[in-house]
Chain A
């Protein structure tokens, strides 16, 4: 990326933070053409809307499908064809179906190129917390999040940089229970794109704020690309 070459983060402070659509488009643009990709449930699913058909990206659904198509229209609904979020979907030409052990072998075995996940918190060394708030009354549910987090070759997180209470979600250490250790490669947020390097968090771009303004609200040291020795 050009930011790495120049060594200076690109600060877009003359505008607001990225909208959810802009964020999904940015993640889509970061996915290399021809990748096998799993999009997590919720906001990550919207990345599919911004993937150009000519990119040749193949979507994986952990309930046993490759080359997942768009959500089904009412007249296309088939109860045997759903995505990981249990939403009726469609198949694209070249799709394949397989059982759950094979589906997770694709993750754990390092065959899946990219996964995009939501997060409650990410630490500066790439620890991910996205499955459980740890609240005593909450019923825990993990699904395939832990398998995806440690299995995909590249793990991209999509989240707001700040929680509703204003606290930063990029943290020195996650306070929520972990999903995976040191597994996150990049974080796409409304206010900034952050790379997790061997040296910690590196801001490559900001939106609606300067790096200095974000640094005032985040306890993690935000480094410039020139201060990092590369992706971990």
Chain B
């Protein structure tokens, strides 16, 4: 279906159900869709499983969603950071479940979900505690672990510019997980700094084609930077 474009953050996140698996873009704060996350907090869905590289920084964005008690489980590669005190507190209090996934497996498991792949063998993690419970197989002399896709009910991602077809362009390292997550969810919602008319984005530079994007929140900003400058 064609992409819905709105400047109303609450409309952008309407209908997200309790218990959803939500893929949230961003590496640290770069590319994190903070306005959509704030709208999700107002929207009220709870019991969520959230997939992100990290587990929140400071008090904003994902950390605010965690602090609001909406997240049952985090799937991430690197929860422990200097400013991850919200997650740390919940984890130590036994109020949140953690599935730790090596960063490349995290990306590839979502890529597989988006590409319709049933499962794949990855060499990452062989012989480590993260191999526990996983099927191991030797292929042409090398050992691999069977990894299953991570499919989202919803993806919330940040991008720099969209056109009215829903095509997305990112900016610098704020791209990170966005393009992969956009493919891996049943409902992909992108917040972008601005929306331009059809034809204004060179088709050769589109990173995420609009077919992967269901809703766009137009922040209507002039500054192309995805992050909040501070």
Contacts and interface: CB of A to CB of B under 8 A. Distances in A.
A61 B173 contact: yes
B137 interface: no
Contacts of A171: none
Interface in B127-182: 127-130, 160, 170-180
Nearest to B224: A80
B105 interface: yes
| Range of interface residues on B (Cβ < 8 Å) | 35 or more
Contacts of A178: 127-129
A150 interface: yes
Contacts of B79: 139-141
A64 to B, nearest CB: 5
A218 interface: no
A145 B128 CA distance: 12
A147 B103 contact: yes
Interface stretch (B4-12, B22-30, B41-49, B196-204): B22-30
B177 A79 contact: no
Contact of B77 (A86, A101, A141): A141
B130 A146 contact: yes
Interface string A64-103: 1100000000000011111100100001000001111101
A142 B75 CA distance: 12
B87 to A, nearest CB: 8
A132 to B, nearest CB: 8
Interface in B9-61: 27-31, 53
Contact of B175 (A83, A99, A181): A99
A232 interface: no
A143 B31 contact: no
| Range of interface residues on A (Cβ < 8 Å) | 35 or more
Given A108-B123, A181-B126, A139 B88 contact: yes
Nearest to A178: B128
A145 B130 CA distance: 12
A177 to B, nearest CB: 5
A150 B173 contact: no
Contacts of B129: 132, 177-178
A40 interface: no
Nearest to B111: A101
A16 interface: no
B226 interface: yes
A144 B104 contact: yes
Contacts of B108: 101, 104, 108
A113 B181 CA distance: 28
A99 B103 contact: no
A99 B100 contact: no
Interface string B88-101: 10011000001011
A76 to B, nearest CB: 12
Given A79-B228, A97-B175, A143 B103 contact: yes
Interface in A131-157: 132, 137-147, 150-151
B177 A180 contact: no
Nearest to A182: B127
Nearest to B28: A86
Interface in A99-134: 99-101, 103-104, 107-108, 127, 132
A176 to B, nearest CB: 10
Given A80-B226, A82-B30, A150-B123, A142 B173 contact: no
Contacts of B92: 137, 139
Contact of A99 (B53, B102, B180, B227): B180
15 contacts: A63-B173, A63-B176, A79-B230, A80-B30, A82-B27, A86-B27, A138-B80, A142-B100, A142-B130, A143-B77, A146-B125, A146-B130, A147-B102, A177-B129, A180-B126
The 7 closest A-B pairs by CB, nearest first: A79-B227, A104-B104, A147-B104, A181-B127, A100-B107, A141-B80, A80-B174
Interface of A: 61-65, 78-83, 86, 91, 97-101, 103-104, 107-108, 127, 132, 137-147, 150-151, 177-181
Interface of B: 27-31, 53, 77-81, 88, 91-92, 98, 100-108, 110-111, 122-130, 160, 170-180, 207, 225-230
